[in-house]
Structure 1
């Protein structure tokens, strides 16, 4: 069996997990030389950009975040013994959050179609995991044993957990819709063919849980519905599922981008003449449909020994301890549909300041599928043809503020949305990294075009 896995994610999957990125490849996707990476933010970026042709060889973006447990250093994340030996700060609450993502951008390309259009072909494999509105004391008991905990009880509204992996091939088309002396309007769209790799969903509108230390039992009440598609295992992608046709679907991205070009803006021989660029995009519309999913409903009123919970996944706990009903039927796993509102302001020369607002559009927590966390990202950027430096700062989301840094140097890109946070603060609730390799061929403006821009 061929698999893709992230060792650091596997080690800590029962403790915490990574944030569903509010921006793919944070900082880099704003770059006017981002090429294929810019298409993930807005398909309109395919048109009239600095890249005449780009062959993207491969890149990976992975991370973890939560609001329950403070993360150790980056080196400790990859060492199981160091993680469990570390004195980690814990903040259990009735509505703790944790999630993870692994985003593998495969061989892809972007090419210009004349001066006013562009075409992209993007391949990607993605894996997301999230748990929302679950008491952190349950996680603590599962990891360290319930015997060390005091009695507790709570009613958790809209508890849900979602895990899903899928592959996609996208065709992206962007075009200049309006081109005037002082502004340019671009539009773009992407159509994605989706292939599901499996998923798991469980949710309850109201889940009651009480821990009785005297008897060593959990007393539970309510009803939990879950959906299992394929032989899914968190943290591990089974690439053999690509040939099994477990699930299929179609997805879409739509976007607009407006550039303001006042006459006083300096322009060089490359395509960065704007003072302000404003964009809006809706990405990841659609779902993967699994024709043979197992759909179950479990009334969970009763008492369960905590010895039967430690180290067990929710799916096994439900199946082994409660009498439910199951059936085979088609089930949809929604993509993490998001609305991006973004702007990029040119301060002077190659110095830019960008901002991004990310909002989840699939808000129903009881439907299968992932969703991003709402957040705002601000990123100053120094941009040249072969070198860009950026420092994204992310605000909002349960895990709090994070500061990162990134670098594009020729054919190589590397960065993290949390690097500076880990360097300058002791307790962090998120960690991520991305890196990639590409072969770009940048496009130059003709002398006549430069004159038209600055006059």
Structure 2
């Protein structure tokens, strides 16, 4: 049984050690993104500009919180101080999130004039902590050593850490081919291998800490659980659990200048492209997961607080249940509109929307984002400057480029450098072997 505090420890390590971890923001709209675009919409695999696209290794990370606002320029200068270079936005419902996406050896190629196929390998880690009272977070972070009284109340508190790998078979096909109108569809069937999960929830938890008597009075219920042998401080992929997932997508393209329907669509630039996809449909079922329920109605001595699991076990009545548990994937809806301003200049608008209920502690989820990204796009080089509006009120402005086999970027690098209180950050890097069509 793992400690509930590991939720907080994991986030602290990630935020304060420059481990940035939404994926490939800006780059995934590029018509030369290849296999990366397939991860957001599997219909992108058909009609691409590649004979073959082989990904060697790519890493993308996205992290943030509406509790912390961090001065990233201080981090880059090496003089970062948590108290001086971070601003805290304490509320009754603070949220923390992180996802890391490692795209391993993957490839795609054309079967014939109407269909394409690909193999995708990935390793992914998601962290979500929703609706935690900021006063409670600070009290746990400080081991209940505050110099003043603290009162807190959290409703529908929940959190999840989940790590898994996946192998996907992507297939795309031309569904409609008229002179000026193209419709294509795609699907990715994924075999999942879960490394494990930690999950917690509380329908209601209130409390008061008295700094004079060093006592903590709480009311409510707290639940947390872990899959068998899961350790969030040392994620391992040697004891995996199988599951299945699905991505499904469609793309429409308008080609007003196409001479006839025999002209390959990759040879005729579209004026407008619109796509819709649902990704990460599915779940992983873990056997013998342990869930502990604590009755939090008690007044206890908080001066001995150190390890949260031990503190809970020593001071609160609890019951343990061993049961099979399903962890839902971060199911999401992706919408894209891409418009060609000139031959090499385009602008895209994307929406990435979570389809997971926020109160679900047995699921990972993305945060909702809307991104507008102007870009210069050529065969060997692309440059893009995404502007994003992100859930929890953060605005992000970034940049990135593709230079042949190399892609590097961040959807928030410029706003992180200019702002003294950034709530989100992301970065990606990729290396591939592109084999272009003639």
Other-structure match for 2:132: 134
Deviations 1:107-136 (A, max 9, x none): 111111222211111100001112111122
The residue aligned with 1:357 is: 351
Contact 1:9-1:64 within 8 A present in 2 as well: no
Aligned equivalents of 2:328, 2:377: Cα separation in 1: 36
Question: Pick from 256, 277, 284: which aligns with 1:281?
Answer: 277
Q: Does 1:96 align with 2:94?
A: yes
Contact kept? 1:16, 1:69, Cα under 8 Å: no
- SS of the equivalent of 2:86 reads coil
**Structure 1 position 238 matched with structure 2 position 245:** no
Matched, 1:332 2:326: yes
C-alpha distance after superposition, 1:144-181 (max 9, x if no partner) = 45444533324322100110100110110011100111
Q: Is the 8 A contact 1:16 1:99 kept in 2?
A: no
Q: After the TM superposition, which residues 14-413 of structure 1 pair with which residues of structure 2 at under 5 Å, given as runs? A: 21=22, 24-73=23-72, 76=75, 82-84=80-82, 86-144=84-142, 146-148=144-146, 150-234=148-232, 236-240=234-238, 244-245=239-240, 247-263=241-257, 270-271=266-267, 273-310=269-306, 312=307, 317-398=311-392, 400-413=394-407
Q: Contact (CA 8 Å) 1:59, 1:435: kept in 2 or not?
A: yes
Give secondary structure in 1 for the equivalent of 2:429. Answer: strand
Shift in Å, 1:77: 7.2
TM-score calculated relative to the size of structure 2: 0.90
1:399 Cα deviation after fit: 5.2
State how far apart, in whole Å, the 2-side matches of 1:131 and 1:11 are: 13
CA distance in 1, matches of 2:401, 2:39: 18
Matching residue within 404, 426, 433 for 2:427: 433
Q: Give the Å deviation of 1:14.
A: 8.0
- Conserved 8 A contact 1:19-1:99: no
- 1:227, distance to aligned residue in structure 2 (A): 2.1
CA-based RMSD of the aligned residues comes to 2.7
- Looking at structure 1, the residues matched to 41 and 247 of structure 2 have their Cα atoms a distance apart, in angstroms, of 8
Q: CA-to-partner distance for each residue in 1:3-47, whole Å, 9 max, x for gaps?
A: xxxxx97753487999992xx211111110001100111000011
Structure 2 CA distance for aligned equivalents of residues 323 and 272 of structure 1? 69
The 1:276–1:100 alpha-carbon spacing in structure 2 relative to 1, beyond 3 Å, is: same
Query: Displacement of 1:394 after TM fit?
Result: 1.3
TM-score relative to the length of structure 1: 0.87
Shift of 1:211: 2.4
Q: How far apart are 1:92 and its partner, in Å?
A: 1.3
Tell me the SS of whatever aligns to 1:354: strand
| Unaligned residue ranges in structure 1 (runs of 5+) | 1-7, 445-455
Matched length: 427
In the alignment, what sits opposite 1:451? none
Q: C-alpha distance in 1, partners of 2:351/2:74?
A: 31
Are 1:16 and 1:64, in contact at CA under 8 Å, matched by a contact in 2?
A: no
Provide the rounded CA distance (Å) in 1 between the counterparts of 2:428 and 2:20: 14
Aligned equivalents of 1:210, 1:77: Cα separation in 2: 38
